[in-house]
Chains A and B, each alone.
Chain A
Amino acid sequence: KQEVTQIPAALSVPEGENLVLNCSFTDSAIYNLQWFRQDPGKGLTSLLLIQSSQREQTSGRLNASLDKSSGRSTLYIAASQPGDSATYLCAVPGSSNTGKLIFGQGTTLQVKP
């Protein structure tokens, strides 16, 4: 059974810092891994999708890497800003063809001005 874990659960950093969020999964047979952002009480915004054949994806100040063999992904945020404060979730497809995503519990990030 696939399980997804995110560490740390919460993170507080001063503005301008580079930071890394971690995501691990137990079954390496994944099609892809998706990172989302969720603002309090709001919807999920897709940030990056890494296919299983890729090692990393970049979008602006965000860079996500994927190491299937070790069951890990990292989301790197460069030069953090207060507007980056949110909960970041990683998710992988479930083992059956249900369209289901299995989510981690998320990392809540606070960037202080």
Chain B
Amino acid sequence: QKEVEQDPGPLSVPEGAIVSLNCTYSNSAFQYFMWYRQYSRKGPELLMYTYSSGNKEDGRFTAQVDKSSKYISLFIRDSQPSDSATYLCAMSGVLTGGGNKLTFGTGTQLKVEL
């Protein structure tokens, strides 16, 4: 079983829809949770970063972490065609001086249709 599970999609929604993307994980040591966005033929770029449980909002994006359920979510409000990309969740444990290694989900491909 993988440490991080993510539905690969593809997920297709109409413009303006609310999108919900999710990851589950098994390692209770994970404390830092991230969402990366990856456009086709590009490298991932950091979208949201949260520590421990709770919510974080940034414009149309909201990240939620539920450590008791080992479940994280990314919500996109008023989705736009420019949001069409692959969304990767990533997480890590306590920061160390030896390099903080991230564990990534496989990514969910999202397409927002006009």
Is the pairing of A and B real?
A: no
Name B's A-contacting residues (CB within 8 A).
none
